A and B are shown apart, each in its own frame.
Chain A
Amino acid sequence: TQLLEQSPQFLSIQEGENLTVYCNSSSVFSSLQWYRQEPGEGPVLLVTVVTGGEVKKLKRLTFQFGDARKDSSLHITAAQPGDTGLYLCAGEGRSGGSNYKLTFGKGTLLTVNP
């Protein structure tokens, strides 16, 4: 069974601060995806990282995939209240046979206070 440990689980910061969310596993994933979810809505895909050591930037968000493809981080610079939400990391791997599935971390509930 593949597990993804996501931390921190809760984070409350002031507008303008920086933050980093971590996802760690002992398993290797073929890809890792980061999502943001708002209450009552489905998760929205932010980025997919595939190559070990890969770094992707999305405005103030920087995503990194570990060299061994077992861990990933999300760094937000100068957080804004609009960044508030549940951030989920998810690694894709085989679930048996030809099936693939996403293994989700527990999520990080981020609150950015004005």
Chain B
Amino acid sequence: GAVVSQHPSWVICKSGTSVKIECRSLDFQATTMFWYRQFPKQSLMLMATSNEGSKATYEQGVEKDKFLINHASLTLSTLTVTSAHPEDSSFYICSARLAGSGGYEQYFGPGTRLTVT
């Protein structure tokens, strides 16, 4: 159980275009999902917290108009990178929060590799 999927697993786009990444909790409902960004051989950097039915909470320094987050249902959150630039190239990972036997736990998707040319 507690499986999170992401689509697409990788995407290449041109500068100035927009890209949408989907994050789904497959076997549970998630009122809270998170979006992270990760650079090679580095840890995860939280971008925003996505709450179902309400606006996302962005971390300091993350442009909310550039990284649009929508959490329209209890199993789906989307991240849209608008007007992408090469510096947006990165590994984007989502997670979903679930109550476990030992408290709340986060389960991660497999990630989406974005390359902006």
Dominant secondary structure at the A interface? strand
Answer yes or no: A78 CB below 8 A from chain B CBs: no
**Also in contact, A48 and B100, with CB within 8 A (given A104-B44, A107-B43):** yes
Cα(A50)–Cα(B99), bound, Å:
13
Contact A95 B57 (CB under 8 A): yes
Contact B41 A86 (CB under 8 A): yes
Answer yes or no: A81 CB below 8 A from chain B CBs: no
Give a binary string over A40-75; 1 marks a CB under 8 Å from any B CB, 0 the rest: 111111001110000000000000000000000000
Contact A31 B41 (CB under 8 A): no
Contact A50 B102 (CB under 8 A): yes
Q: How large is the interface on A (under 10, 10 to 19, 20 to 34, 35 or more residues)?
A: 20 to 34
| Nearest Cβ on chain A to B9's Cβ, whole angstroms | 9
Cα(A102)–Cα(B97), bound, Å:
10
Contact B111 A106 (CB under 8 A): no
Contact B43 A42 (CB under 8 A): no
Contact B49 A99 (CB under 8 A): yes
Q: How many A-B residue pairs have CB under 8 A?
A: 70
Give a binary string over A93-104; 1 marks a CB under 8 Å from any B CB, 0 the rest: 001100111101
* Contact of A42 (CB < 8 Å), options: B32, B42, B49, B93: B93
B contact residues around A104 at 8 Å (CB): 43-46
B contact residues around A50 at 8 Å (CB): 102-103
* Contact of A33 (CB < 8 Å), options: B45, B93, B105: B105
* Contact of A31 (CB < 8 Å), options: B34, B91, B95, B102: B102
A-B contact pairs, 30 of them (CB 8 A): A30-B103, A31-B103, A31-B105, A40-B111, A41-B110, A41-B111, A42-B4, A42-B6, A42-B95, A42-B109, A42-B110, A43-B108, A44-B108, A45-B108, A48-B102, A48-B103, A50-B103, A88-B43, A90-B106, A92-B103, A92-B104, A95-B49, A95-B57, A96-B57, A99-B57, A101-B49, A102-B34, A102-B46, A102-B106, A106-B42
9 smallest CB-CB distances across A and B, nearest first, come from A42-B108, A48-B102, A31-B103, A107-B43, A50-B103, A42-B110, A104-B43, A50-B102, A43-B108
